[in-house]
């Protein structure tokens, strides 16, 4: 059974207020090996030895930079060899949704030459470098059982819905509210078709779980991890 990964790193990190991309920032550097946000995310998945093909989405013209960042982490190349995993890059789009669709189409192109489509695909934000091997395995197992699975955390703060003026219009039941993380797992062919339909219908969704829900069916949730936070603002990494 073939498992694949789309690692999204095509955004422009505008909320970080930095020069460059947050995915390329170092998490640690001992002089011989630089572990970046991007390489840390990639390492977690390669360390499972379960993925045969990884597609990283990057901004147009940025593949060489991304490769240098990954190559600086000397843990990556041996894991790629050990798992017989191919690492490929594709240009992202103007939105995250478009970038993921580009990644899925590229996976389809590179994986179907004499092999057939992958069984599953996990979609992960490269800006979540602290994802654990245990969470990856849990999402993958739930995906195989349910067809689609995402990690979720119970809401901590009280949740309210507001109108355009900022006034509260609805008090939400916190017990039924969750925060959804990545990696999100899906049956590959069904997610690809759902993305194609969403593009055809000009539907813009916040994540892949929403696309699946619109065009395929239910999405199962499994427990997420507090440490699996997404780097969004400068203080998230400093």
Q: What is the pLDDT at residue 110?
A: 86
Q: What is the pLDDT at residue 234?
A: 79
Q: What is the pLDDT along the chain (238 residues), one digit of tens a residue?
A: 789 999 999 987 666 666 678 999 999 776 667 899 999 999 999 999 999 999 999 999 999 999 999 999 999 999 999 999 999 999 999 999 999 999 999 999 987 654 667 899 999 999 999 999 999 999 999 999 999 999 999 999 999 999 999 999 999 998 899 999 999 999 999 999 999 999 999 999 999 999 999 999 999 999 999 999 999 887 887 6
Q: What is the pLDDT at residue 153?
A: 97
The alpha helices in the chain, defined as continuous H runs, are: 37-46, 63-71, 76-83, 96-111, 133-146, 188-200, 208-215
Pairing of strands 220-223, 148-154: parallel
Q: What is the pLDDT at residue 114?
A: 47
pTM (predicted TM-score): 0.93
* Dist CA 183 CA 7 (whole Å): 9
Domain 3-232: assigned CATH number: 3.90.550.10
Cβ atoms 223, 152 nearer than 8 A:
yes
Q: What is the pLDDT at residue 13?
A: 66
**Start-to-end C-alpha separation, the chain:** 40
The structural domains of the chain, with segments of one domain joined by +, span 3-232
* Dist CA 15 CA 32 (whole Å): 31
For the beta carbon of residue 63, count every other beta carbon within 10 angstroms.
15
């Amino acid at each position: 059974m073939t498992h694949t990964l789309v690692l999204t790193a095509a955004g422009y990190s505008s909320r970080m207020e930095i020069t460059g991309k947050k995915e390329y920032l170092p998490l640690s550097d001992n002089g011989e090996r630089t572990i970046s946000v991007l390489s840390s995310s990639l390492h977690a998945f390669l360390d499972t030895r379960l993925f045969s093909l990884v597609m990283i989405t990057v901004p147009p013209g940025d593949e060489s930079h991304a490769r240098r960042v990954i190559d600086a982490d000397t843990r990556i190349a041996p894991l790629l060899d050990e798992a017989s995993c191919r690492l490929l890059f594709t240009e992202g789009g103007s939105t995250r949704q478009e970038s993921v669709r580009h990644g899925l189409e590229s996976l389809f192109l590179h994986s179907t030459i004499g092999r057939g489509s992958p069984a599953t695909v996990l979609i992960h934000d490269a800006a979540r470098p602290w994802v654990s091997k245990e969470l990856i395995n849990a999402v993958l197992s739930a995906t195989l059982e349910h067809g689609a699975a995402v990690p979720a955390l119970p809401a901590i703060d009280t949740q309210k819905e507001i109108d355009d003026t900022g006034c509260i219009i609805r008090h939400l039941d916190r017990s039924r509210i969750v925060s959804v993380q990545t990696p999100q797992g899906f049956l590959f062919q069904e997610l690809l078709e759902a993305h194609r339909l969403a593009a055809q219908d000009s539907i813009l969704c916040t994540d892949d779980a929403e696309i699946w829900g619109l065009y395929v069916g239910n999405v199962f949730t499994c427990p997420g991890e507090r440490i699996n936070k997404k780097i969004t603002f400068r203080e998230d990494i400093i």
